[in-house]
Amino acid sequence: MIDLGLSKLAIIGVVALIVIGPEKLPKVARMAGTLYGRAQRYLHDVKSEVSREIELDELRNLHKEVHESAQSFKSEVEQSMSSHVDEVEALWDNREHTGSTSSSSSTHAYVSTADIERKARDFRRKKLVRTSSVPAWYKHRNGGKTHVLSGAARVRKFRPGSSKSKTSFF
> Cα-flanking dihedrals φ and ψ of residue 162, to 5°?
-80, 150
Residue 124's pLDDT is 73
- Distance separating alpha carbons of residues 129 and 134, to the nearest angstrom: 9
Is the separation of the CB atoms in 118 and 112 below 8 Å? no
Residue 110's pLDDT is 62
For the chain, which ranges sit under pLDDT 70? 1-2, 96-110, 127-136, 139-140, 143-151, 154, 157-170
The DSSP annotation for 30-96 comes to: HHHHHHHHHHHHHHHHHHHHHHHHHHHHHHHHHHHHHHHHHHHHHHHHHHHHHHHHHHHHHHHHHHH
Q: Look up the pTM and report it.
A: 0.37
Residue 63's pLDDT is 95
Mean pLDDT of the residues in the chain:
78
Residue 131's pLDDT is 56
DSSP state of 130: H
